[in-house]
């Protein structure tokens, strides 16, 4: 540990270092503000880049009326499935999107209802087997009617059967949710890719020909495809 009198000797050096650092900072600021040069804040630079990007997209849209902004298509599809397809002027895809999402959503609701029915029936059967409930109690009366006879009244209480069917409906419910999310994601990808391809002009002279390949002594007979882009 430095003694107090040694700190007195170090004080001038630390002061010089501090002054030198401040001087360099000041010099860097002065050199940045040379005559004829203008320094813009970072926010203005980012805003300028955004404006340039918007101008670039607008210029493409003016040259090609069929151009669509991929960002707009993406966000519209995220907010509302099918909206991006309508924005890309491909409204015929929207019914396909809603058919997939509607089917998976319907399967989820269907399996969820049966899962809850089997869940309640299994809880009642478990309590009856443990002696805390009975077939004449109010809880058994709330069991779904189609589950009473096969799982309670015919051959005794079938708790294992209720548990197995409950697990099957739970699995189907999870699958339906996964496919619903996949369909939503594919809807976003489809709209974004279509928007990117809207500015891609292939041309009217696209041709595809089927012709035999050139023959020589080392090649065999075959058929080749030749595509010509102009």
Q: Is 125 within a domain? A: yes
Give the pLDDT band (50/70/90) at residue 31. Answer: very low
Comparing C-alpha atoms, which of 94, 95, 52 is closest to residue 73?
Answer: 94
For the ranges 43-57, 90-104, 154-168, which has the lowest average pLDDT? 43-57
Q: Is 17 within a domain? A: no
DSSP reduced 3-state for 83: helix
Mean pLDDT of the chain: 76
Comparing C-alpha atoms, which of 69, 70, 37 is closest to residue 189?
Answer: 70
Q: Is 96 within a domain? A: yes
Q: Is 103 within a domain? A: yes
Domain that holds residue 126: 68-199
Q: Is 171 within a domain? A: yes
pLDDT at 2 (0 to 100):
45
pLDDT at 211 (0 to 100):
62
Angle of the 159-197 helix axis to the 70-79 helix axis, nearest 10: 160
Q: Is 154 within a domain? A: yes
* Number of domain units in the chain: 1
Q: Is 144 within a domain? A: yes
Average pLDDT over residues 89-95: 94
Q: Is 160 within a domain? A: yes
What pLDDT digit, counting tens, does each position of 133-183 carry?
999 999 999 999 999 999 999 888 999 999 999 999 999 999 999 999 999
């Amino acid at each position: 540990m430095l003694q107090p009198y040694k700190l007195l000797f170090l004080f001038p050096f630390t002061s010089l270092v501090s002054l030198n650092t401040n001087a360099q900072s000041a010099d860097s600021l002065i050199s940045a503000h040379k005559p004829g040069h203008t320094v813009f804040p970072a926010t203005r630079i980012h805003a300028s880049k955004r404006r340039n990007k918007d101008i670039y997209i607008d210029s493409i849209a003016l040259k090609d009326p069929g151009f669509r902004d991929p960002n707009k298509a993406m966000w519209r599809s995220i907010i509302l499935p099918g909206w991006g397809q309508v924005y890309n002027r491909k409204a015929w895809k929207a019914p396909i999107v809603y058919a997939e999402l509607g089917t998976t959503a319907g399967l989820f609701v269907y399996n969820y209802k049966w899962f809850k029915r089997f869940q309640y029936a299994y809880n009642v059967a478990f309590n009856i087997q443990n002696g805390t409930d009975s077939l004449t109690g109010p809880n058994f009366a709330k069991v779904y009617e189609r589950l009473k006879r096969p799982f309670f009244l015919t051959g005794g209480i079938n708790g294992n059967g209720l548990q197995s069917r409950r697990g099957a409906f739970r699995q189907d419910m999870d699958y339906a949710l996964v496919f619903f999310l996949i369909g939503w994601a594919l809807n976003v990808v489809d709209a974004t890719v279509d928007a990117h391809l809207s500015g891609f002009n292939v041309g009217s002279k696209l041709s595809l020909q089927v012709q035999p390949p050139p023959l020589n002594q080392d090649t065999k007979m075959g058929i080749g495809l030749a595509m010509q882009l102009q």
